[in-house]
Structure 1
């Protein structure tokens, strides 16, 4: 009996660990399941087909509104590596489907996103809206845009060009490309504790690059001048050359749709105070603009304490992805969406 008792005492902690692992595994699976019906779609009608994902609310009784997602910078796929799904679910709970697509050249999609201008991206967005208006179960009167960061130069163009854009949700957007770039540079240098000499050197490098762009130099000409091109590809140079003059002011002035602007107070990429001031100057129709600030949130609308900790952000991304985002962020979007006109009939 004594031998059997010792054996049992050895197995108890092992079984406890196994139960915890299995339980944690079940929790992780549950946390990464979303109350959505996703389908892969091909969006036609634009310059090239777009490979997309249409995510609908489960159990929708009638036509739903639709939020068309406009990506920020970079080679982003339709789900943004799963980052969008908690946002989609929050919108589904407000009665809205969501539509997103792989950027051209991403996941085998035709084209190359680095070949695009902001106007090209606006045209692409409007093509997606025209396609969506023909889909069964979508209310064509309630189709709007959600976009982050670089989308701030795309969505105002689309909303200015088409009354089919019923609303706009901008997250961490900027107004002027060059001002945003300078703010980004200086904010990150301060965050990293750069010396004055390091700061001066980085500013001089940035100014040299900007001068070359103003002179419309090619990447090869810039490199041949002896400039440091570390981290710059010819394709990226051409993309920036086409787009660096972007400014949303004129387009915003012509936007008639309601706008929700969401900003993070700890944003190192975009000067949130400058963005808010710019939107308030241009969107002057009473009640048109709503601004929600999350003072402890970063550019990604994640609490700074989470984003600055690789351990915290990794654990939450795996075990509780909805908890990555700033408290109240989902509620702000749901409240805005439920305030948009109800379906007719």
Structure 2
């Protein structure tokens, strides 16, 4: 048997590198397995789910009903009302930590694909905000007929544009809604749009001239909307680099006069207003001020989270959604996307509410 002295130096060197390569490869595989296992563990939420088809609305809705793991109910229920834009039932997984939070408080949760999304019939851009409220009320009617849902404990969580929808439902169904939770909710559509534009331009370090030009383009579009101008006129005159589609124009035309102020004094259910101090979409200081002015004080609880975005996500993550840090957090620690305290706060608040 040859000794190390009999092996040429180059051969010994190759063998050492081979051993190191094998060890390194083994470490990589072990880390990958461990990371995969951790990701599976972190995305194993403490609830059970079923796909449901909800009838009673303009068209059938395809939804996900999330239930506590323990017991057979009846459970409370939280309807999740999406914000603007394309959205499937769980908003690409974003709702899952909140669904788990509500499940721990004894509440089921339900979200559904917007019309036209994920194979659902219809087109969400054909809806007015009033249509969206009626859609939510149809989901309530469907849920109230189930034996595993407590009809006296049905509330609504609504983010962004959903903040115009859920007060309407609470006013329409004062004896059936237990609570509402507006998140990143605006007061007035036009003021919200200007605030968002200014905040986004500031984040891009736009010059004063660029900001003025953007504000003028926005005002030009608003003038046409106020005149009920046809899409063709908008399209022939706009200088937007990314103009609205015909469907989007009609959606904005239906909804741009939205203002929640008249509804707020009419609310007779508990309201948990959740706001992020670093919100670039909504002027949360205006929202807080108007809610405090118009909602009955004994019904209102307000949380303003420092360093939180529009979604009550850590601002450094939400404002850099394509960053490696954000992607890794989403995969390996999805509950950590939210700012500290948010999930606990909604769980504690809803757990203390009496049935309707």
Give the TM-score normalised by the residue count of structure 2.
0.92
Instruction: Indicate which of 92, 95, 102 corresponds to 2:113.
Output: 102
CA deviation after TM superposition for structure 1 residue 54, in Å? 0.4
Query: Is it true that 1:179 corresponds to 2:171 in the alignment?
Result: no
For 2:128 and 2:229, the matched residues in 1 are separated by 18
Aligned residue number for residue 157 of structure 2: 146
Q: How does 1:59-70 map to 2 (within 5 A)?
A: 59-60=70-71, 62-70=73-81
Aligned residue number for residue 142 of structure 2: 131
Rg larger in 1 or in 2?
2
Q: What SS is found at the alignment partner of 1:154?
A: helix
CA deviation after TM superposition for structure 1 residue 224, in Å? 2.5
Aligned residue number for residue 209 of structure 1: 221
Aligned residue number for residue 82 of structure 1: 93
Q: How does 1:244-323 map to 2 (within 5 A)?
A: 244-284=256-296, 286-309=297-320, 310-323=323-336
User: 4+ runs of 1 displaced by more than 3 Å?
Assistant: 1-10, 225-229
CA deviation after TM superposition for structure 1 residue 17, in Å? 1.9
Aligned residue number for residue 329 of structure 1: 342
Moved more, 305-314 or 72-81: 305-314
CA deviation after TM superposition for structure 1 residue 145, in Å? 0.0
- Aligned pairs, number: 342
* Matched-pair contact (CA < 8 Å) for 1:144–1:168: yes
CA deviation after TM superposition for structure 1 residue 319, in Å? 1.1
For 1:123 and 1:260, the matched residues in 2 are separated by 22
* Matched-pair contact (CA < 8 Å) for 2:133–2:168: yes
For 1:329 and 1:20, the matched residues in 2 are separated by 31
Query: Is it true that 1:40 corresponds to 2:51 in the alignment?
Result: yes
Q: What SS is found at the alignment partner of 1:249?
A: coil
* Matched-pair contact (CA < 8 Å) for 2:217–2:238: no
Q: What SS is found at the alignment partner of 1:145?
A: strand
Q: What SS is found at the alignment partner of 2:87?
A: coil
For 1:317 and 1:24, the matched residues in 2 are separated by 13
Q: What SS is found at the alignment partner of 1:65?
A: strand
Give the TM-score normalised by the residue count of structure 1.
0.95
* Matched-pair contact (CA < 8 Å) for 1:223–1:229: no
For 2:245 and 2:19, the matched residues in 1 are separated by 63
Q: What SS is found at the alignment partner of 1:169?
A: strand
For 1:8 and 1:312, the matched residues in 2 are separated by 33
Identify unmatched segments of 5+ residues in structure 1: none
CA deviation after TM superposition for structure 1 residue 228, in Å? 3.5
For 1:144 and 1:13, the matched residues in 2 are separated by 53
* Matched-pair contact (CA < 8 Å) for 2:309–2:319: no
Moved more, 299-308 or 242-251: 299-308
Aligned residue number for residue 9 of structure 2: none
For 2:352 and 2:97, the matched residues in 1 are separated by 20
Identify unmatched segments of 5+ residues in structure 2: 5-11
* Matched-pair contact (CA < 8 Å) for 2:276–2:305: yes
Moved more, 53-62 or 117-126: 53-62
Instruction: Indicate which of 167, 170, 173 corresponds to 1:156.
Output: 167
For 2:248 and 2:212, the matched residues in 1 are separated by 24
For 1:154 and 1:141, the matched residues in 2 are separated by 20
CA deviation after TM superposition for structure 1 residue 18, in Å? 1.4
* Matched-pair contact (CA < 8 Å) for 1:60–1:95: no
